[in-house]
Amino acid sequence: MILTTTDVIQGSVIQSYLGIVTAEVVYGSNFLRDFFASIRDIVGGRTGSYERLFEQGQRKALQELEQRASRLGADAVVGIEFDTGTINVDQSGVLLLITATGTAIKLRN
């Protein structure tokens, strides 16, 4: 399956649009990761643990997107976009949300 952020696939013709597919990945907060990130906020620099978390989340969202498109009989998903956000659970924690959205398509053979 082809997964792309572009709206066309070079050298291919779109036979039909099968619909919008979405995938969501949600991670709970982690005390140690949050603690070390807060230190980074004070001293500056990149927060590797969160970078790895978002990278992992995007990979998982793409895998889920591919599975959902496959169930529709798609050959590809075009126009993929990622969105990230947080969900406040209570005063002590948040959930991290990573969403991938695209259009499932069937290609002409």
**Reported pTM:** 0.78
pLDDT band at 31 (very low <50, low <70, confident <90, very high): very low
For residues 44-62, average pLDDT: 79
Cα(81)–Cα(19) distance, integer angstroms: 15
pLDDT at 36 (0 to 100): 46
Q: Which CATH class is domain 2-107?
A: alpha beta
| Token pair for 109 | 């053979």
- Classify residue 5 by burial, with Cβ atoms within 10 Å: 0-12, 13-18, 19+: exposed
pLDDT at 102 (0 to 100): 98
